[in-house]
Structure 1
Amino acid sequence: MRTVESEHPDPVARVVLDTPFSWPEKYYDYLIPEKLHEKALPGARVRVEFGSKRLTGFLRERTNTTDSPRLRPLVNVLGEPVVTEEIFLLAEQVARDNVCSVHDFLRGAVPPRHARAAKTILELPAPVFDEIEMQGGAFDSTDSSSDASSSTALPTYDLLDGHEKLLLAGRSTWQRVAASTQLALSKNVKVLIVCPTSLDVKKCRQAVVNLLPKEPIALLEASASAETRYRHYLSALLGRTRIVIGTRAAAATPINAGLLIVVDEQNGAMRDKRSPYLWADDVLRARKQIGEHLGMGERTLLRFSYPPRLTLNESGVVTGGEWPKVTRAEQWAGDQRGILPNAAFETIRKGLESGAVLIAAPRAGYVPALACASCGKRAVCQDCGSSIAVPKAGSNASCTRCGTGQWRCSCGSTKLRAVARGSQRLAQEIARAFPSVEVDSIRSGTESSGSPIVIATPGAEPDREFSAGVIIDAGARLASLSLDAEIETIGRWSRVAMKVSDHLLLAGGVPPHLAHALANRDLGFLMPLLEEREILGQPPFHRWFHVSGKKPDIQRLLGEVAARLEGEAPPEQGIAALLSGGGRQVFAEGIHLVGPTEDETGLSLYLHERTPSKRLARALRDSFQHLGQLAVRVEADPIL
């Protein structure tokens, strides 16, 4: 370590670079030229020379010491600081725990710079916020044990007590989120709200605007333009708004929010599809801890969801919010084996007497799945292996990928039968049953015309209230081998139930205990799922790491990891033997190697640590930093 002398204080810029080989807490030192001393502030984007390339990154800190014998100068500073100390600490903690780079996290958290947006925001005068007073109503009539089935009421005790709470979702969820926001602002507490989709962001914003029409709101969602996203990001950073509403990436917005809210936390959209593969509620939980550690004030985390995600985090449970009556088709007499049982028609008929009816179809299209009429084997294309389907009314069955219309079963039959109906076919059946009623079939990305009967695929349910609802093939997802099948299924049902006021019917293959759980928003069904995960050694009880890449690099990495875990390097042939084996093998004390499998892209394997500790994560992180460039990808706690 040497000291760098300069006329200016702290002439060394410590930079986190945007490079695939920048591993946890890996920073590079650069000399700050005299012309850039005033602009080179912590949190600013910078451009540097790295080898023969020019890369961008973020200036983590300025110092006067370095380990480097020779420092290259910064090339340029690209605008204003955009990363705060809190977000740097958050990124570093994520990198340590999930074996990714700091920049992996920052890349998703900080939108690309937009010069016009920056100029617009920086020229605005300082905002003057209205004083917010609670008008009552939303916080007057329930307590934590009551079931406010006909009210949007929230508990009379203070929600902003610095603890984590689960508020069971209901039809009035957005109104309850807005009421929580109003309460926070009345106490001069800023609010950060994270929602699964852009449509949910719009719904949330409208609910907040209804209560706080004059309050500026920053919206951070992927569907917005680059200029809009950056302008709203700077608004939050510079204190020009007290409310941020956004999708998953908004969880890392630099706003000192004392109230953190996540809606529908177990929705698949709430998990990052790229490294570091984090769930939004985990990011908010980490922010709560870091912010309080930095002395930024007490932070409350509210989770509006049913069902919640399976974690080991303890939180109080708050009931309330409107919920429909829930039944299943098997509770009625008669033939229930058809795609539309008698109970479904009766539910639709009664629902139309007092309002509109929502029918949730599991798939789009006409007949998306066919089987052999003789032996029942699923019909797949002999040329490419894709499904045989009927794309629209009046058309012939054909392959969904290559389009061929030729098909013959291995049993010799050429006759097909439908095994699943799509939303278009359901619309036909419903229209025939109710000829005087308009039926509207919608998919994701389309909007309902306001018809009395609406048929929608998952995620496309329109934002309106329905008197009754029917979920067709409600138990179809339960056939999945995923351990999360039950939670994902109830999550889909809940999103429909939140739009229904009177009666929701689950039609097709629904176990009684899950129907009961949905009807009562019961959390008891989660206990067997947690016990199963503990027995099988799955997250959140154990840690798993999916490792994939080129075989030589994986072999080097595993050798280094084993040495750090066991205290001495294993023989090279020992690692090679592990990689030529299969199944479950002992890798180190308390750690197993599962696999590997191999394809044209390289090897894929899992490391399984039989505790939720950070021992394996630390060994992987340190190994990457020691070895440098490796063509290896690591995913912490993958969905198994």
Structure 2
Amino acid sequence: MPETPIVTLPVARVAVDVSLPHLDRPFDYRVGPAEDEAAVPGARVRVRFAGRLRDGFVLERLAASDSERELSPLSRVTSSEPVVTPEIARLVRAVADHYAGCFADVLRLAVPPRHAATEKAEPAQRPPLPELDLADAGAWGEYATGPALLEALRRGDRPRAYWQVVPAHHRSGDWADGFAAAARATADGGRGSVLVVPDQRDLARLRAACNRVLGRTGFVELTAEAGPAARYRAFLAALRGDVRVVIGNRAAAYAPVRDLGLVAVWDDGDDLLAEQRAPYPHTRTVLALRATQQQCAFLAAGYGRSCEAEQWVQRGWLRELAADRTQTRHTAARVRAAVDSDLALARDPAARSARLPHEVFELVRATLPQGPVLFQVPRSGYLVALVCQDCREPARCRRCHGPLRQQQRQQRQRGADGRAAAVDLGCVWCGLLHPDWSCPICESRSLRAPVVGADRTAEELGRAFPNTVIRQSSGSQVLPEVPGTPALVVATPGAEPTAEGGYAGAVLLDTQLLLLRVDLRASEEALRRWLAVVALVRPGADGGSVIAAGDSAARAVQALVRLDPAGFAARELAERAEAHFPPAAKVVTVDGAAGTLAEVVQLLRAPEPTEVLGPVPLPGASLAGTEDPVERLTLRTPLSTGSALVRALKDVTAVRSAKKNEGAQRVRVDPVVLG
């Protein structure tokens, strides 16, 4: 009679794919002889949980369980590929705890779905990295301490730095080259790197730089948009150690790179780096937690600077790496405000209120013969809003009270009173035409547009500069690049195309629209957007010039003129500390029905001191299937007690989950948007 095989580690600790707060822990299962070899730590399994078969991952194998109940057996091993490494499991747990979330939710972000054919395929053959001249530091050579950073990475050190990139169409502003060089230095030291960028345009630029420095097979791209096969192929290449460098968007932050030596993030202030799925982690924090846990180097970089990064610099967790003021002024474009002196105001008395002051036309006339000129317009569309010319009453539909809009290139006719009247006005909501519109307050037939979109701006520029090529980039029609020939390029923020040889000049229109947004980060975001435009313009030594049309006294505009994002971030952080706003304080928001939030407040055992603000209704939000408004509860506490508040709130969600109380709640820790 054959002997029964002995299983030396008969217990598998499994992370079951269940997103219930009160069940946010691993469970033990019995491993039979048939699954002994395949049920390795990190393998995918199927287990019976609460009467149903569910997916799970083996976290570890044990000799015995601490549970007193009889263990259920593993149903089967789906794949023996160890896709959850111990390092990633610890990172997932830390991220879940930091954001009051569940392990299973974060694990879905970290591990892509299995693609069986890709898993069984033979891995691609990858030649060694190409030879590289170590004396050429690339973009880092433009910074005093840049070469020293590369040497530290080659030695295997763990530097943590914030790279304040000069916003210039110059080698010193080539952040992608700097990231690729840092990854290559880390690879030369025998370690791996994870490089994260916000969007596909940044990824394309980083890909081109990595092709030059690492070769086409020296790295992989890990993005959620790549498709299941391509994403899983890149994931396995990193997991198996076939490549040492992974680039991508926020999906790459959890890439299982072996011997991790560097994590880097570009433009950490971009809200695209904030995950839109629970528990809503931010990539910047995920990488910081990973750098701490795995003892690797951390690099954040940007033309601007977020308050979170400034806080880390002030605490000494990050060391600033920046060019001196003289070099910045020499390599960046010349930046000025449209009305920056009494002399300019005397020359053009209407400049403070004019959308296109006289100085804007002077800049375009001076720079257009040398190359393209970029106009950044905060809003897309034509006439984004219409109001009465006389009393400023918004133009509304007679039937549904929706806003009225005028189509692009709409002709205008003279009314009986001799004043210009818009024809064929249409309602945005119901589509009803209003050819005989008149103001219900003052009966005027004249309209004006306090907010002008990119389409109308392009039309106005076409009239002001006839026989000039006009190009537009916004919305779904984003131009990746424009030629270096004279042209006017009108683009919305984030859709600015690069220009061959750089733009000869740039104009920032309607700066007040970005600054007046109802958002805590409005000024920080505006400066970040403007500096991204400055980075597309030729250096001032080559005639590059940028002008901001708007209130020259605004702090963000002044920081733009000085090219001083660090000083702006420091002052912004100081003001947030006085007002107890993040990141100077721990802020958690809870959204849900009024009854749900009342129950949360009743169950919460928050640490002292904790401020409970609200709840207040969220404009335009309602519960699914009902007309009941969604309300928001805001909890605020000092950073020293922030972790205790998050734990207390997670305990509340666990209690409500265990009792199966009705009413869902959405918890956000350190929310990006705080209106």
TM superposition score normalised by structure 2: 0.82
| SS of equivalent to 2:335 | strand
Distance (Å, rounded) in 2 between the aligned partners of 1:371 and 1:265: 38
Aligned to 2:183: 181
CA contact (8 A) 1:23 1:101 kept: no
Name the structure 2 match of 1:485.
522
Displacement of 1:274? 2.0
Residue 534 of structure 2: aligned partner: 497
Distance in 2 of aligned mates of 1:43 and 1:409: 68
The reply on whether 1:515 has 2:511 as its aligned counterpart is no
Q: 2:612 aligned with 1:593, yes or no?
A: yes
Query: What's the CA shift string for 1:172-228, capped at 9, x where partnerless?
Result: 222222332333333333221110101111111102212333542211223212211
Does the aligned pair in 2 maintain the 1:220–1:245 contact within 8 Å? yes
Aligned residue number for residue 394 of structure 2 = 378
Partner of 2:498: 463
Residue 555 of structure 1: CA displacement? 5.1
The CA distance in 2 between the partners of 1:174 and 1:167, in whole Å, is 12
Contact 2:210–2:216 (CA<8 Å) still a contact in 1?
no
**In the alignment, does 2:660 pair up with 1:617?**
no
Judged with a 3 Å threshold, the aligned counterparts in structure 2 of structure 1 residues 552 and 471 are, in CA distance, closer, same or farther, namely closer
Q: CA deviation at 1:515?
A: 2.9
* Counterpart amino acid of residue 617 in structure 1: V
Task: Supply the AA of the counterpart residue of 2:93.
Answer: E
Which whole-Å deviations, capped at 9, do the CAs of 1:547-594 have from their partners, x for residues lacking one? 2335665555544432xx5xxxxxxxxxxxxxxxxxxxxxx6312222
1:342-399 Cα offsets, whole Å, 9 max, x none, are 2222222222222211111111111111112221133355665654322422273323
Give the distance between the partners of 2:402 and 2:301, measured in 1 at CA. 39
Q: TM-score if structure 1 supplies the norm length? A: 0.86
Per the alignment, residue 38 of structure 1 pairs with 37
Is residue 304 of structure 2 the alignment partner of residue 307 of structure 1?
yes
> Aligned partners of 1:382 and 1:39: how far apart in 2?
70
1:136 aligns with 2:167: no
Whether the 8 Å contact between 2:126 and 2:218 is mirrored in structure 1 is no
Give the match's secondary structure for 1:435: coil
Give the secondary-structure state (helix, strand or coil) at the position aligned to 1:223: helix
Instruction: Tell me whether 480-489 or 620-629 shows the greater mean CA deviation.
Output: 620-629
* Helix, strand or coil at the partner of 2:433: coil
2:417 aligns with none
Q: Name the structure 2 match of 1:324.
A: 333
Give distance in 1, aligned partners of 2:271 and 2:640: 22
Q: Please report how far the alpha carbon of residue 508 of structure 1 lies from its aligned counterpart in structure 2 after TM superposition.
A: 2.2
Query: Where does 1:160-171 land on structure 2 (aligned, <5 Å)?
Result: 160=153, 161-169=157-165, 170-171=167-168
C-alpha contact (below 8 Å) 1:139/1:156 kept by paired residues: no
Determine the C-alpha separation between the residues in 1 that align with 2:505 and 2:446: 37
The aligned counterpart of 2:418 is none
Q: In angstroms, what is the RMSD of aligned CA positions?
A: 2.8
Other-structure match for 1:549:
592
Q: Is the 8 A contact 1:351 1:468 kept in 2?
A: yes
Partner of 1:290 in structure 2? 293
42-51 or 594-603, larger mean C-alpha shift:
594-603
Instruction: Note the 1:81-480 alignment, pairs <5 A.
Output: 81-120=82-121, 122-124=122-124, 128-130=128-130, 132-138=132-138, 141-144=141-144, 158=151, 160=153, 161-169=157-165, 170-171=167-168, 172-255=174-257, 256-292=259-295, 299-311=296-308, 312-314=311-313, 315-320=318-323, 322-331=331-340, 332=344, 333-334=347-348, 335-336=350-351, 337-381=353-397, 386-394=402-410, 396-406=424-434, 409=439, 411-413=441-443, 415-445=446-476, 446-447=478-479, 450=483, 452-464=487-499, 465-480=502-517
Residue identity in the other structure for 2:495: A
Q: Find the aligned partners of 1:139 and 1:439 in 2 and give their Cα distance.
A: 33
CA deviations 1:269-315 (Å, max 9, x no partner) are 111122222221111111111002xxxxxx22121113222122122
Q: Does 1:632 align with 2:665?
A: yes
Judge which range, 239-248 or 430-439, deviates more: 430-439
For residues 117-176 of structure 1, the C-alpha deviation after alignment (integer angstroms, 9 at most, x for no partner) is 2223x544586445655142527855548xxxxxxx766774534232111223322222
Deviation of the 1:32 alpha carbon: 2.8
- Structure 2: where are the runs of 5+ without partners? 169-173, 411-422, 539-543, 623-627
| Greater alpha carbon shift after TM alignment, 91-100 vs 627-636 | 627-636
Aligned to 1:568: none
Deviates more, 1:60-69 or 1:625-634: 625-634
Cα distance between partner residues in 2 of 1:101 and 1:198: 29
Alpha-carbon shift at residue 412 of structure 1 (Å): 4.6
Q: Distance in 2 between matches of 1:71 and 1:44?
A: 19
Asked if 2 retains the 8 angstrom alpha-carbon contact of 1:444 and 1:459, the reply is: no
Partner secondary structure for residue 525 of structure 1? helix
User: How far off is 1:85 after superposition?
Assistant: 1.1
CA deviations 1:422-449 (Å, max 9, x no partner) are 1111111222222222111122443255
Equivalenced residue count is 598
Change (3 A) 1:23 1:423: farther
CA change 1:91–1:380 in 2 (3 A) is farther
> 1:481 Cα deviation (Å)?
2.9
Instruction: Determine the C-alpha separation between the residues in 2 that align with 1:330 and 1:534.
Output: 32
Match for 1:537: what amino acid?
Answer: H
| Residue ranges of structure 1 left out of the alignment (5+ in a row) | 146-152, 293-298, 566-587
User: Which residue identity lines up with residue 646 of structure 2 in the other structure?
Assistant: A
SS in 1 for 2:450: strand
Following TM superposition, by how much is the alpha carbon of 1:27 offset from its aligned partner in structure 2, in angstroms?
1.9
Q: 1:345 to 1:254 in 2, by over 3 A?
A: same
Q: Give the % identical residues.
A: 29
Query: How far 1:236 moved relative to its partner?
Result: 1.3
CA distance in 2, matches of 1:196, 1:140: 22
* Alpha-carbon separation, structure 2, partners of 1:435 and 1:393: 16
- For 1:129 and 1:94, locate their aligned partners in 2 and report how far apart those are by CA, in whole Å: 34
Q: Is the 8 A contact 1:471 1:493 kept in 2?
A: yes
- The answer to whether the 8 A contact 2:59-2:89 is kept is yes
Shift of 1:247: 0.6
Is the contact between residue 507 and residue 549 of structure 2 (CA under 8 Å) also seen in structure 1?
Answer: yes
Q: 1:182 to 1:128 in 2, by over 3 A?
A: closer
Partner SS for 1:47: strand
